[in-house]
Each structure stands twice: as structure tokens, then as C-alpha cells.
Structure 1
């Protein structure tokens, strides 16, 4: 009986010699075909996600355009020095930086040069003291500043103590489209009284900016 079964099996295999092995097992062939269909579907989804990822990455690059941000302030020594030397139209310099991503801000010139074109936000806080020197006579403190983009005025700020023996701070904020290579800076706009106030243990006179999008 066993010999007869073996002969029958060999004959059956020989008869199927021209067919694939999977044809001998139709249920396996059907299952593998189903798996292939699912794999093709998953590949289509993967291709679609990769295309979406490329689009999103391009949009992020367009909006960000690289990390650009700076935050600077004036030391007490610099505040005292500039208080004595600033004239109308002088550029105000901030000699310390907390951050300077993109290396756009120069402490030596006091100017920010845009590393790339885009929309930027700029903020500055200017503080004044009623005295012209520490321990000096109480007078009035008053300064006016302009935020410049190249040779154009894009922001104005006025800080005034109003009374003797007082100090005051004012803050300005501007959003502006800036082309690559354009300088943005602060300048003094009239003869001032008192002195710039910027002390580590009291308050800081600051200038900051960052890129919002391309």
C-alpha cells in the first residue's frame, strides 16, 4: 500500500512538473497574493508620506530660513562712557551679548546685519538716570532713540524721568521686513540729559532681535 501511494505521489509530481510549486498549494498561493497586495498598498502609503515629508521640510526651511536671533545689553561701564560721549545721530552700542545665533550682531559697531532676508522682530529697552554720574547732583534724565534700518527710521522711543531724583525705562517693539545684508541699529536723536542706566543689580538697557519667517 505504501509503495502504491509513493508511486501515485511521484506520478502526480511529474504531471505538475511544468507548474510552479505554489500551484500545488493553492491556499498558500492565495495567501501570498493577499500579502503582496497589502505590501503594495503599504508601499504606496510610504511613498505618499515621503512626498508629504519633503513638502513639510521645504516649508519649515522657507519659514525658518535658518536660526537668527540676538540679545544684547549694555554694561555699566559702557553706559557711563556713552552717556558722556553720545551726540545727536550717534550709534548706540551694546557691548555684551547673551545670544547671537547667526552672528548677525556686532558688539564693536552696535549694528545687526541680517544674515538672510525675512520678517524680523526687534525690541529695545532704554533706561535713564536723573544724575550724570553716580553720587552726582539730582537733575533730570531724558533720552530719545531711533531704530534704524539702513538710513530709514522704523521705530522711535523716548525715556524721561519727569522728576528729579528718579529713573525711568521705556521699551519699543517693531516687526519689519529686512533684506539680507541690511543693518539695523539704534541711534541717539537729540542732546540728552542725565545718563544711561544699565546695572547688573538694578536694570539693563537692551537691544534684541530675531527672525520670524522668510
Structure 2
């Protein structure tokens, strides 16, 4: 009897200490479900990313197609323009040849009427022998004007002045004549204060500076990197004066010309107002 009681006690203790397999199983299934949900969420995110990239690719493809279509359209327009240009060039050459033919006939001492049909023109070119002298004069004028147009050079001239006071804190400082009154040929550049010769020739330049109070400056005319000419002015005790210079130079196309202060002999501000301008001008002589 005692052994039976002891056996029941031991069996009860075993049952109490035995793990709860049912609880462990539920926890494991819950963990598995969480992993499945996480995998499903990641899969959905990847699917959304793929759909986004697919949409972008479709947009790029449509844009590329539109650009190809526009390129083909422009190619056709360019081909049409080239055909028109070729046709115009042919017309101009034909008219030039016809004009030369007329000129040769008018210049001849005797005119052969059988030669008054221009080759390949398809029509007669009428020449009135009774007015040959007047026509010769007219044609000579036309040819001379055409030659003059081809060889004529355009005028070059500029005029600019300093709009406000320019503070000179160091030497070799370019004076910026920022108010442009004339710029024929577009050789002067007001942002830099530099004139760039648009063509080779002989040019004349004039420049001036105005000082007030206590100041001293030498305004040098620079041609390229050469100190070509200069003027000097020094004022004291509230003086108000101008000094100017003039120079002529042979320039090659693209040569820079500007006015700057001296490296050492400079202090004080450079003034400019309607009573006395700090100015710079130039023009092509020949």
C-alpha cells in the first residue's frame, strides 16, 4: 500500500514537470505565420517596385519614339531645304551666266545677231544695238557696284564713357567705360572695357580721365600687351581736372585695345559726370 501511494506521488510530480507540448506547438505555428506574412509583404514591395520600373520604361520608350519621329521629320525638312537651296543656287548661276553673256555681247565692237540666243536658256536675249552705249555704261556700273559690295569694308567706330566713380585699389586696373553711346561694328565690349578690332586696319583712339580732390593716375592705352601710350594727371586740395590723349595704331584683326591705370603711380578714385567725362573712343581710319 505504501508503495502504491509513493508511485502515485511520483507520477503526479512527473505530470507537473512535463513540458506543455501543446503551448510550444502554438508558439511555433504563430512564428511561422509571422515569417510568412513578412515574406508576403516583401514580395508585394518587390512587385510594386517592378511595376514602377515598368511604368518608367514605358514612359522612356514613348519619349524615345517621339524623339525618333521628330528626328525623321527634321531630316525630311532638311532634305527639302537642301533641294530648295540647290535649286536657288542653280538659278543664281544661270542668271549670272546670262548676265555675263549680255555683258560680253555689249562689250563687243560688232554684235552677231545669231549669237544673241543664250545657250540652254530657251529664250532670246534682246539687245538693242542703237542703245549699246547707254547699256554698256549701265552694265559697267552694275558690275562695278557688285565688285564694290564684295570688297567694301564696313565702318568701325565706338564711343563710351564711365558712368559712375571707379575706385582704383591697385595698379594695372582696366577702366570699364560701361556707358556705350556708339558701337558701329560691335568691336567695343562694355563689360570688360576692351575694344577688339573686328578687322585689320589703321585705327585712331582718344581717351580721357577726370580726377577730383587728392588723386594721381596715369591712364595707359594698351594695344595687346604693349603699353602703347599714356597720359598722367595729379590733383590736390579739391582740384577737379581732366586730361586726355590721342593715338593712332596699326591693328591686326582680333587685337585688344583698352585703357588701364599704371602699376605704381595711382591713388584715389576716377570720377565721371556730365561736367567732365572719363571716356574712351576709337574709329577705323583705313
TM class by shorter-chain length? 0.5 to 0.7
Shift of 1:71: 1.0
**Structure 2, unaligned runs of 5 or more:** 1-127
Which of the two has greater helix per residue?
2
Shift of 1:194: 3.4
The 2-side partners of 1:212 and 1:158 are apart by 26
Partner of 1:212 in structure 2?
Answer: 285
The answer to whether residue 129 in structure 2 is matched with residue 41 in structure 1 is no
Q: Secondary structure at the match of 1:141?
A: strand
CA RMSD of aligned residues (A): 2.2
The 2-side partners of 1:110 and 1:100 are apart by 13
Q: Deviation digits for residues 107-151 of structure 1, max 9, x if unmatched?
A: 221111111111111110111112xxxxxxxxx332101101111
Select which of 152, 158, 177 maps to 1:70: 158
Could you list the runs of 4 or more consecutive aligned residues of structure 1 that deviate by over 3 angstroms after TM superposition? 47-55
Select which of 110, 118, 121 maps to 2:204: 121
**Structure 1, unaligned runs of 5 or more:** 1-35, 131-139
Shift of 1:191: 3.6
The 1-side partners of 2:191 and 2:159 are apart by 15
Instruction: Name the structure, 1 or 2, with higher relative contact order (CA <8 Å, separation 6+).
Output: 1
Q: Secondary structure at the match of 1:44?
A: helix
The 2-side partners of 1:196 and 1:180 are apart by 31
Q: Deviation digits for residues 4-43 of structure 1, max 9, x if unmatched?
A: xxxxxxxxxxxxxxxxxxxxxxxxxxxxxxxx65412322
Q: Secondary structure at the match of 1:91?
A: coil
Contact 1:141 1:167 in 2 (8 A): no
Partner of 1:174 in structure 2?
Answer: 247
Which of the two has greater strand per residue?
1
Alignment length (residue pairs): 158
1:89-104 correspondence to structure 2 within 5 Å: 89-104=172-187
Q: Deviation digits for residues 150-196 of structure 1, max 9, x if unmatched?
A: 111211111223x4221111111111111111110011103423321
Partner of 1:83 in structure 2?
Answer: 167
Partner of 1:157 in structure 2?
Answer: 231
Select which of 108, 113, 117 maps to 2:191: 108
* Bigger CA radius of gyration: 2
